[in-house]
Amino acid sequence: MLFIAASLVACAVEEPATSVTTQGVTSSNKIALNKIALNKIALNKIALNKIELNKIALNKIALNSLSTQALLDNNVPGGREILEYLVSCAFPENVTLVGTPTGGSPIEFRGSIGLAPRWETRQLTLKEKRWVSACMLARVSNSGTPLFISLRGNHDSLTVSASEAANYDYEEGAFYGDIFTPEGEDIVALTCRGSDLASGNGGATFTLRQCAESNDGVTSICGMQWAGDCAKFDTSWACDESGEYYGRCHDHATADGKWRESIHARYEEVITVFVTEQPLLGP
């Protein structure tokens, strides 16, 4: 079997490269027998709450300046779990990464969504960093209950079937940002509220999925920066594109649809989460 060294370095091509050594991680083109996601419905078992969101911030240090070995060995809190979901977000279903913890047995990390498949052979571009970040943030949960959710966005890997669109038809909100910021800087975790979450539609699912909601108008219930409503449901909104999903979302809402780009950061790499009315629990 041919194994290829996987360069899981988390720096953008546009930025100076950080010296990163990848140890003990190889990949092979193996069909995942136990798929993490089916038809791009991502299993939300990462179940991050405020404390777990901090794990992403802590693991950013390992992603940017250490090796994947630190994640495999759980030298940073929840490192192996974070690595599992990074692989799930970045690689497609036909790719499995195999990592060997120090003194342990090999562990398989299966791809699923495929937002940055070339991460195996080169550094992430800025757009890829943001797509993977959006995927990780979209899978954050306030309740800790494993749910199935539908991820959608302007990326070929986020195309959904007609049946998925019909079954997962309640719009929770959009997620975007950058969890690969330089060492010493906080991660950028942004969210805005979707139409059904804003209107109160969605049934029991939204009692378990409220990361796009805020109690104070500043921070989301899950600890992200809250940008307000995604579209013009009320007086101000964060995104200037909407349809099947959101795009061109900003870090602040505006009441006139005009943003000062020098102040209000804009993200093209946005993932919109849709849920089904009655929650479908994962394993």
What pLDDT was estimated at residue 106?
Answer: 78
**What is the pTM (predicted TM-score) of this model?**
0.80
**Looking at residues 192-218, what average pLDDT do you find?**
89
- Average pLDDT rounded to a whole number, residues 84-112: 83
Banded pLDDT at 8 (limits 50, 70, 90): very low
> What are the pLDDT digits (tens) for 176-188?
999 888 777 788 9
Give the pLDDT confidence score for residue 127 in this predicted structure: 97
Above pLDDT 70, what percent of the chain?
74
Q: What is the mean pLDDT of the chain?
A: 75
Q: What percent of the chain has pLDDT over 90?
A: 30
User: What's the confidence (pLDDT) of residue 57?
Assistant: 42
In this prediction, residue 227 carries a pLDDT of 96
Please give the pLDDT value at position 21.
Answer: 28
The pLDDT score that the predictor gives to residue 128 is 95
Give me the DSSP letters along the chain. ---EE------BTTSPPPP----SEEEE----SS-S-BTTEEE-TT-B-HHHHHHHHHHHHHHHHS-HHHHHTT-STTHHHHHHHHHHHHSBTT-EEEE--TTS--EEEE-BB-S-GGGGTSPBPHHHHHHHHHHHHHTB-SS---BEEEEE-SSGGG---HHHHHHS-EEEEEEEEES-PPTTS--EEEEEE-HHHHHT-STTHHHH--TT-BSSSSBBTTSSEEEEESSSSSS-EEEEE-SSS-EEEEEEEESSS---TTTS-EES--EEEEE-SS--B--
Per-residue confidence (pLDDT) for residue 96, from 0 to 100: 80
Q: In the prediction, which pLDDT does 267 show? A: 95
